[in-house]
Amino acid sequence: MSMPETMDALVCTAHGDPSGLAVAPAAVPVPKKGQVLIAVEAAGISYVDVLMARNAHQNKHEVPFSPGMEVAGRIEALGEGVTGFSPGQRVAALVYDGGHAPFVAASVTETFALPEGCDPVRTAGLLSVALTADLALAERARLQPGETVLVGGAAGGVGICAVQLARHMGARAIAATSSEERNPVAMAAGAHAALIYGEAFRERFQALNGGRDADVIVDPVGGAFAEAAANLLDWDGRYVVIGFAGGAVPSFAANRLLVKNRAVLGMVLGYYRWQKPQVLARSAERVLAAIAAGALDGPLTIVDGLGAVPEILGRIAARQQLGKAVVRL
């Protein structure tokens, strides 16, 4: 059966408020050399999509374009030179845009076969944040069983995955959030304990951790969390900086790193996409296995149809969204 030339996709026609996006006709992509064409069953909805719509993301997207950076579905067609995949195969993929559409082209180095029992909707909603959390914990922090992880922004997408993966790796996960109403979300995700940022943060953390500081800190927020957590690393502790959703970029006193053999490490998913695809594939294998096993299970807000996406993007922009969201096509 021949492919259609056009499709109804979610389209950004002018940079600005993400609630202004609308479903409109768009061309069906043709897979290039080293790409596969995926028939999308579900696509993640994330803060990065908000940044794309506002033209505030480091990777610029000329209008018109469709947002959406993570998808799950079935392979529809193969580009030149592609091996290891076949039409009809169930996969998940990272893309740079275009995921909020019935069809999207993805690089084979960023496309991963779904194992049995791996729900495509859950996978599409968790893929990017789960990969970010896994790479931070496994590759950068080299987390070991029995260690304690302090997770900032623990009611957000990356934070929830970091909590669940830390537990899955045999570590103790303590969640930190910006408000009391967010703590139950982190606890429901599997945190061993939870607290909010603020006064006497170190003392309250130590009370939850047997008087000890943290072995690993995962920080996707910066801002107020980083100010409170920067001095909360134990001997040989590792502080992994993932992002600055809270606003301010933290600074670290070199003398305090020196005296306890501490380390501050940066982690950006793009590095593994562009420079270390084999490490990315290894991380994807771990993440997809964890989803299939139920170790990564949300929470997710699931909506049906691309027309429902702008409202979710508005909630994300207003910081009203807890956990990740995903759209079923």
> Each residue of 240-274: pLDDT tens digit?
999 887 778 888 888 888 889 999 999 999 999 99
Residue 164 CA to residue 214 CA, distance in Å, equals 17
Q: What is the pLDDT of residue 272?
A: 96
pLDDT exceeds 80 at position 2: no
Which residue reads 């801002």 in tokens?
A: 223
**HSE toward the beta carbon, residue 40, CA cutoff 13 A:** 34
pLDDT exceeds 60 at position 112: yes
pLDDT exceeds 60 at position 74: yes
**HSE toward the beta carbon, residue 309, CA cutoff 13 A:** 32
Q: Tell me the pTM.
A: 0.94
pLDDT exceeds 90 at position 71: yes
Contact predicate 41/75, CB 8 Å: no
Residues whose CB is less than 8 angstroms from the CB of residue 94 and which lie 6 or more positions away in sequence, other chains included: 69, 70, 106, 110, 127, 128, 131, 269, 273
Which residue reads 């957590």 in tokens?
A: 229
CA atoms 55, 58, 63, 68: torsion sign: negative
Task: Give Cα separations from 303 to 42, 76, 248 (angstroms).
Answer: 10, 24, 32
Alpha-carbon dihedral of residues 266, 125, 78, 52, nearest 10 degrees? -60
Q: Evaluate whether 6-115+296-328 and 128-270 have a shared fold.
A: yes
Buried/exposed code over 306-322 (b: 16+ C-beta within 10 A; e: otherwise): bebbbebbbbbbeeebb
With CA atoms as reference, report the closest residue to 267 among 134, 150, 111, 148.
134
Q: What is the pLDDT of residue 158?
A: 93
Q: What is the pLDDT of residue 243?
A: 87
Considering only the top CATH level, what class is 6-115+296-328?
Answer: alpha beta
Backbone angles phi, psi at 281, to 5 degrees: -65, -40
Enumerate the domain spans of the chain: 6-115+296-328, 128-270
Average pLDDT value over all residues in the chain: 94
pLDDT digits (tens, 9 = 90+) for 140-155: 999 999 999 999 999 8
Going by the DSSP 8-state scheme, the letter that residue 65 receives in this structure is B
Structural element, H or E, at residue 160: helix 157-168
CATH architecture of 128-270: Alpha-Beta Complex (3.90)
Residue 38 CA to residue 103 CA, distance in Å, equals 6
Q: What is the mean pLDDT of residues 58-86?
A: 94
